[in-house]
C-alpha cells in the first residue's frame, strides 16, 4: 500500500500435542515501517478495508498461489502419512470454543496454566506490566473479549483467557 509496507508470507509447522507429525502451515502478515524505522506487524490490518482487499488480491499472484499450493500439498501428504494428524485436524472446531476462564463469574480465582504476560490493555501489542508464573492464582475482575481483567499490583491488567484455568 506504501513504499514502506508489504504483505509477508510465513511458512511454519504446527506441533500438535501427542502427534508425531508436524502440520505444515502458511500465514499472511501486513508489515510496515514505523516512524522509528522499525518493521511492525499490523495485527489490525484486516480491519482496514483497503488493506484487507489488497491482501486478498495477493493470493492470485502466481508466486503466492504456488506457495499456497506447495504448503497444501505438504499438509495433504502429512495427513496421508499420519492418520492421527488427519483425525486431529478434522476434529478441530468440533468442541466448544468457549473458554471457562472468560465465562467464569467476576471474583472467581483462576490459575495460570503457563507463564504469561500481564498486559496494560486487552491486546497482544499492549505494554507488558509483568509476568505471572504457571500455577499462580489471580482473581477475575472482568472480561474484555477473549481477555480476562485482573488486578496486578494495584493496576488493571489483562491476561489471555486461554492461559487461565478455573479452579
Question: Given 2.30.30.40, 3.10.110.10, 2.40.50.140, 2.30.30.100, which CATH number is that of 100-166?
Answer: 2.30.30.40
H or E stretch covering 110: strand 109-112
Q: Determine the Cα–Cα distance for residues 16 and 124; give it in Å rounded to an integer.
A: 23
Going residue by residue through the chain, which has 167 residues, state the pLDDT in tens, using 9 for 90 and above.
788 999 999 999 999 888 999 999 999 999 999 999 999 999 888 888 888 888 888 888 999 999 999 999 999 999 999 999 998 888 775 544 456 777 888 999 999 999 999 999 999 889 999 999 999 999 999 999 889 999 999 999 999 998 999 87
Domain spans of the chain, in order of start = 5-91, 100-166
Q: How far is CA 99 from the centre of its chain?
A: 15
Nearest to 12 by CA among 89, 71, 56: 71
Cell readout for 112 is 495460570
Amino acid at each position: 500500500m506504501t513504499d514502506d509496507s508489504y504483505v509477508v508470507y510465513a511458512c511454519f509447522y504446527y506441533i500438535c500435542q501427542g502427534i508425531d507429525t508436524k502440520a505444515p502451515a502458511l500465514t499472511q502478515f501486513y508489515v510496515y515501517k514505523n516512524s522509528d524505522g522499525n518493521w511492525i506487524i499490523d495485527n489490525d490490518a484486516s480491519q482496514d478495508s483497503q488493506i484487507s482487499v489488497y491482501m486478498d488480491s495477493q493470493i492470485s499472484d502466481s508466486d503466492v498461489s504456488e506457495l499456497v499450493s506447495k504448503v497444501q500439498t505438504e499438509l495433504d501428504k502429512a495427513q496421508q502419512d499420519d492418520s492421527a494428524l488427519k483425525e486431529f485436524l478434522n476434529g478441530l472446531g468440533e468442541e466448544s470454543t468457549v473458554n471457562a476462564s472468560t465465562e467464569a463469574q467476576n471474583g472467581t480465582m483462576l490459575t495460570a496454566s503457563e507463564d504469561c504476560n500481564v498486559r496494560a490493555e486487552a491486546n497482544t501489542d499492549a505494554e507488558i506490566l509483568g509476568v505471572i508464573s504457571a500455577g499462580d492464582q489471580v482473581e477475575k475482575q472482568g472480561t474484555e473479549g477473549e481477555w480476562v481483567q485482573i488486578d496486578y499490583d494495584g493496576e488493571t491488567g489483562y491476561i489471555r483467557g486461554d492461559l487461565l484455568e478455573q479452579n
